[in-house]
Amino acid sequence: QAARLRQGRPTTPAPRGGQPPIGPIHQPSLYQTSATPANNSVNHVQGPPRSRVRRRAFGGGGGGGVGGVVRVPLRRRPGHELISAHLRRERDALLAVLEGGGSGSSERDNDGAGFSAPRPASVARRLRGPADADFVADDDGKDENIVIKDYANAQYYGVVHIGSPPQEFTVIFDTGSADLWVPRKGCHNCGYCNPLTKDTSVCKDKYDSSKSTDYEADGADFAIQYGSGSVTGMFSRDTVTLARDIAVPSQRFAEVEDAKGMGVGYVMGHFDGILGLAFESIAIGGTTVFGSAVERGLVKDPVFAFFLGDEGDGELTIGGYDPDKFEGDLKYVDLDRATYWQIALDGVSVGDRYSAGRTTGIVDSGTSLLVGPSSEVRKIADAVGAKANVMGEYTIDCERVSSIPDVAFEIDGTEYTVPGREVVIQANNICLFAMMGMDIPEPGPKWILGDVFMRQYYTVFDEGNKRIGFAPVK
């Protein structure tokens, strides 16, 4: 066992083909902990006592020792950039239709590779919504997963390092996926640097294995199919540093060679890659970065927590949580499935204009918006006066924002509300209604509670007890 851990090999083989972010769910988590299972009642919280976690996290200088708790700062993307990305995607989609499938506007990254607007078939799929994504058959008859997720909506980014000496990457810490990937040197469709303005804000940092003394060749193929195309590359191993004193040696991750499937959301996004924080059972590459850190004793308790700033930056706490970030006590709810962070929802309502009964949802730090079934979101949009654009997203007259009723999710007997004004992303006199329709195939979740929800509630992800804790942010 010790030898196996030193080699950094997964404790269990990865499922064939893995499973992508926000896709159909297959099996319980392969990663088990020794923690006591949580009681179903929120009044009888089990697991690591809060006082013990607090001492380790914030006593004696705020943590940072082996087995302690560390904080990872998260930068928030300005609202006007998010609006610009949405407008750009809509423009490219229209251009693709008008030009009969031509490339539309093309931009070059700093390696000379281009990015093209989607072809009409892809546009048609988007007009129907990512909802139509499902399992599809490859030419060889094998199942291939289509990722029904759009990182154009992501707003919070943090930093990790890979290699020795460390190479820095900005990533989305994503509870809706389980793998780590970054672009490699020479990656195609991986962003561009404007040669005229010398604007490097959307340039991608790219992994160079030749510069790391800890690099280990792996060579296995990595591929995820997105709605607009594939993201491909290969697996490698290297030291991945999450934060001070959490350096995971020989961690398996993917070097992406072609990121065309990420679309314009990636080209314009201020992030290089994705670090998944979902369960190992949906990881393509085997043991997750967080799982490896726990196995090696770098993180004592398999717990992490998100604080997302309302108007500013946020914070990811690894190994515990920060009680100074929330009011009252945490209320825990057991997971419906330990694959994504999926929970049962007792109901969803929007003031007195909409209500729905029991359903399911996942809590997803990699999605900015609230996402629900297309037909239901359409009803909600009609009720509040939001209008759909060509991409199936909704905008609303900024003068009507103050009249939007609160959105409420009932979870394990407790109602969690998001003020109506917070369900809008506003910039440059444009108001984006932060709710999107998407029909996720069974047995996947019906709703995705993204950053719009998480900004209101400090969220603790307790992997050991397979539960999530919520408390209002201060």
- The catalytic residue positions are 174, 364
Radius of gyration of the chain (CA): 21
User: What is the H or E stretch that residue 180 is in?
Assistant: strand 180-188
The C-alpha atoms of residue 386 and residue 380 are separated, in whole angstroms, by 8
The C-alpha atoms of residue 461 and residue 338 are separated, in whole angstroms, by 11
Contacts for 300 with CB less than 8 Å, ≥ 6 apart: 56, 67, 68, 294, 319
Cα–Cα distances in angstroms (integers) from residue 170 to residues 75, 193, 270, 275, 279, in the given order: 10, 16, 8, 10, 21
Tokens of 379: 């009803």
Residue 92's SS3 state is helix
Say if residue 24 is preceded by a cis peptide, omega within 30 of 0.
no
The C-alpha atoms of residue 145 and residue 133 are separated, in whole angstroms, by 9
The C-alpha atoms of residue 63 and residue 322 are separated, in whole angstroms, by 11
- Beta pairing class for 303-307 and 314-318: antiparallel
User: Any idea what DSSP says for residue 48?
Assistant: S
Nearest to 126 by CA among 37, 256, 227, 52: 227
The C-alpha atoms of residue 342 and residue 363 are separated, in whole angstroms, by 7
- Beta pairing class for 347-350 and 354-356: antiparallel
- Is residue 358 packed enough to be buried (19+ CB in 10 Å), middle (13-18) or exposed (0-12)? exposed
